[in-house]
Amino acid sequence: MPILGAFMVPHPPIIMPEIGCGEEEKISQTTKAYEQVASEIAELKPDTIIISSPHSIMYADYFHISPGEGASGDMSKFNAPEVSFDAEYDTELVEKICDLCKEGGPDFEGKKASHEFPAGTMGERDKNLDHGTLIPLYFICKKYTDFKLVRIGLSGLPLPLQYQMGQIIKKAVDETGRRVVYVASGDLSHKMKEDGAYGLSEEGPIYDERIMEACGSGDFIKLFDFSSDFCEKAAECGHRSFVMMAGALDGLSVKAEALSHEAPFGVGYGICRYEVGGPDDNRHFLEKWRNRQLDELKKNQANEDPYVRLARLTINTYIKTGKTLTIDDFIDDFRESAAPVFPKEMLSKKAGSFVSLHKNHALRGCIGTIAPCFDCVAEEIIHNAISAATADPRFPMLTDDELPWLEISVDVLDTPEPISSTDKLDVKRYGIIVRNGMRQGVLLPNLDGVDNVNQQINIACQKAGIAPGEEIELQRFEVVRHK
């Protein structure tokens, strides 16, 4: 049986009169919408309610599903210990979800993975119900209590994997025949007002407008268009929860409705409802997004400049055949293509270079040389491209299936110069090298999420293992970035 219905809800503690002490009146629209959600859930009479919460246990690379027979929790950390709940878990549904994960979920490209999907009941650090779960229960239990609970945390994995977790949940629901309602708990931006607790960022109101449009219309493909950098600047809370819910509704017709949105305290609170119908082949959003991404990547690859073309051909050759591309191979490939004139400086100039790989807009590998180690830039790129694909210690070696998804950039470095003051730095223009003795850290210029010089220096120091307060020598360098 498919999921009966789904709801996107916030979790502001202040909405409870026991905590708000009158301040809850300022979000009366949210309260009214929450009460409607609770009434609709009572009408649906689910056997089980699944709640995904940003405040449940969260790991960078793993989805935690709460184990055991049940759990309890209260709002004591918000000075309202009298608000408490006991929940019985749906152990059979949890077991089915875990079994499906062990079978191996889909990988990034949508193919069957040979390894387990990274989710399960391991790693329980705190069995108590979190407030992202308690606040939905506060409203639901006033209208309906005859249900079991499944509580799922989010992860730091890319958005497609959040969606795939939802797809696994959907399959488990279908196979167990449960009558299920899905509740995606999550606030919106925390940076909506200058005088709010978290201040204002320009991304905050934009995030709320975009997320309410995407979720209020049920056009879930738009959820993938939020970059991690944008979400971080907006200080959003529930995006991954909403994406997981979308995955649980994959391939089902949905009548979506936005019930409320307000942010009087500087945090966005949005509520949407989803009336679920039968199968709808037009609503496989991850598949549609993948196809769109591949089309865009193919167009971009057709227009790559020679530096990036060399890096891509090098990586493709090495991953597929284990052979290292030669410059002659590249020149032959270049002549056979309709590419523009071959830049002679690739063969005549010596320079350090960095090859950066991204997949799904997330870093997948980056290796480079500050000073030239080979006879020409082309040789530098060939060696650094192979290293970025196979030897970056932060990532596993690239696989053949990943090659079509790669976004590649090549930075060719000018000679670094020492500087005596941070006033001579500019994060958009200059990369930096920090040194303390034998320890050295390098950071390229104009990187997403690096907005000021102090941040740039701190990241470079972290990479070098240089502790805050230790003396450092600084160098800067410019790059020519090829995409």
Instruction: Please list, in sequence order, all residues whose beta carbon lies within 8 angstroms of the beta carbon of residue 291, skipping any fewer than 6 positions away.
Output: none
d(CA 166, CA 174): 12
Contact 44/4 with Cβ under 8 angstroms? yes
Candidate CATH numbers 3.10.180.10, 3.20.20.100, 3.30.420.40, 3.40.830.10; the one for domain 5-290 = 3.40.830.10
* Tens of pLDDT, residue by residue, the chain (483 residues): 789 999 999 999 999 999 999 999 999 999 999 999 999 999 999 999 999 999 999 999 999 999 999 999 999 999 999 999 999 999 999 999 999 999 875 544 445 554 689 999 999 989 999 999 999 999 999 999 999 999 999 999 989 999 999 999 999 999 999 999 999 999 999 999 999 989 999 999 999 999 999 999 999 999 999 998 899 999 999 999 999 999 999 999 999 999 999 999 999 999 999 999 999 999 999 999 999 999 999 998 888 889 999 999 999 999 999 999 998 888 887 776 655 567 889 999 999 999 999 987 788 999 999 999 999 999 999 999 999 999 999 999 999 999 999 999 999 999 999 998 899 999 999 999 999 999 999 999 998 888 899 999 999 999 999 999 899 999 999 999 998
Instruction: Please list, in sequence order, all residues whose beta carbon lies within 8 angstroms of the beta carbon of residue 128, skipping any fewer than 6 positions away.
Output: 71, 72, 73
Cα 355 from chain centre: 23
Domain spanning 414-483: which CATH class is it, in words? alpha beta
The model carries a pTM of 0.84
Instruction: Please list, in sequence order, all residues whose beta carbon lies within 8 angstroms of the beta carbon of residue 217, skipping any fewer than 6 positions away.
Output: 256
**Opening angle at CA 189, ends 209 and 82, nearest 5:** 125
Where do the domains of the chain lie?
A: 5-290, 304-404, 414-483
- DSSP element (H, E) containing 460: helix 453-464
Q: Which CATH architecture has domain 304-404?
A: 2-Layer Sandwich (3.30)
Q: What is the pLDDT of residue 398?
A: 95
d(CA 412, CA 313): 18
What are the start-end ranges of the E strands in 351-452? Answer: 353-359, 362-368, 406-413, 417-419, 431-436, 439-443
Dihedral sign, Cα of residue 151, residue 267, residue 82, residue 17: negative
In three-state secondary structure terms, 245 is helix
d(CA 62, CA 64): 6
Dihedral sign, Cα of residue 229, residue 230, residue 235, residue 237: negative
Q: What is the pLDDT of residue 108?
A: 44
d(CA 155, CA 119): 9
Token pair listed for 14:
């202040």
